[in-house]
Amino acid sequence: MHRYRSHTCGVLREGDIGKEVRLSGWCHRIRDHGGVLFIDLRDHYGLTQIVADPDSPSFKEAEKLRSEWVIRVDGKVRKRPAGTENTELPTGAVEVYVNEIEVLGPAAELPMPVFGDQEYPEEIRLKYRFLDLRRERLHRNIMLRGAVIDSIRRRMKEQGFFEFQTPILTASSPEGARDYLVPSRLHPGKFYALPQAPQQFKQLIIVSGFDRYFQIAPCFRDEDARADRSPGEFYQLDLEMSFVTQQDVFDAVEPVMRGVFEEFSGGKPVTPKFPLIPYADALRHYGSDKPDLRNPLKMQNVSEAFRDSGFKVFAGMLAADPNKVWADNTPTDREDVRECPG
């Protein structure tokens, strides 16, 4: 048998009942039910319940275990007693009755628990980032990010795009923010800049005759945080195409974005065809060049209704061109409208 494990903590099923197995992982949660110890053993792949009772040869060792200790266990897979199955776990129909425990790495008292989904101050989470990333939600997010990037990469290559990697240390090319500078050892007093985007390099690639370029590109910008990205650095899907029209770009990008959302939306509906709204129409109907189309309200031009009206504020404004009056066309049968006074 392998030194550390014969199976991972996410693969045991009812078909494995009766097998002698070896697992390694972290003690995610320990419960003492009247002298019977239940240990949720966690690794990258999932959770498996480990059971130790006073008849187990490793019961004394099991009593010493604490949260986040790294252990190896040998035991026999058995079916959980009726009524104790956990349908939320893929391994929830079975448990491992432990015969032997080896402590691979004890842990001191934790500054923040890994079990559960409580919120903690950012300073604590960043200081103990290795613990923060063990938490289920964070671990799942990291894996989701990798899966999304794989999906984007596959869809781009299916359309004939070729992936390039462009330099990180480069000359300064200011865009929308300040550059990050890196001092040069070989040229004292001079600096490299970290690219805010691979703009110049991808243009070099295209004029060199490569037809379709893409990159999951790191971008470095010395700016404050925004709602949709972290400060300092972020990654973006970067692409260039040769001999194309604007519509060709739309036709190439939309299937990638829509396909990614369909794949990872968890069954939520995705717009089958992205609407194309001219800039002027977007401002006219939504007052923004990036409207939230989940809001069905569209502004309407009501200038003629107020032009010669007794409402002097609007009538006076409309006397001088090119002023116009716009209003939201709000249905009167909406509950939120009726309940909102004024």
Which pLDDT tens digit goes with each residue over 86-103? 999 999 999 999 999 999
Q: Give CA–CA dist 218/196, Å, rounded.
A: 8
* pLDDT higher than threshold 90 for residue 30: yes
* pLDDT higher than threshold 80 for residue 322: no
Mean pLDDT of 55-64: 94
Q: Give CA–CA dist 14/12, Å, rounded.
A: 7
* pLDDT higher than threshold 60 for residue 334: no
Lowest mean pLDDT among 44-48, 162-166, 281-285, 300-304: 300-304
The whole-chain average pLDDT of the chain stands at 90
Q: In this structure, are strands 20-33 and 36-43 parallel, antiparallel, or unpaired?
A: antiparallel
Q: Give CA–CA dist 181/240, Å, rounded.
A: 27
179, with CB counted inside 10 A (0-12, 13-18, 19+), is buried
* pLDDT higher than threshold 70 for residue 341: no
8-31 burial, b if ≥16 CB within 10 A, otherwise e? bbbebeeebeeeebbbbbbbbbbe
Classify 160 in phi/psi space as left (phi over 0), alpha (psi -120 to 50) or beta. Answer: left
Mean pLDDT of 56-69: 95
- Longest C-alpha distance within the chain, in Å? 94
- For 143-147, the CB contacts below 8 A with 24+ separation are 144/264, 147/264
- pLDDT tens, position by position, 147-197: 999 999 999 999 999 999 999 999 987 777 899 999 999 999 999 999 999
Partner residues linked to 97 by β-bridges: 51, 76
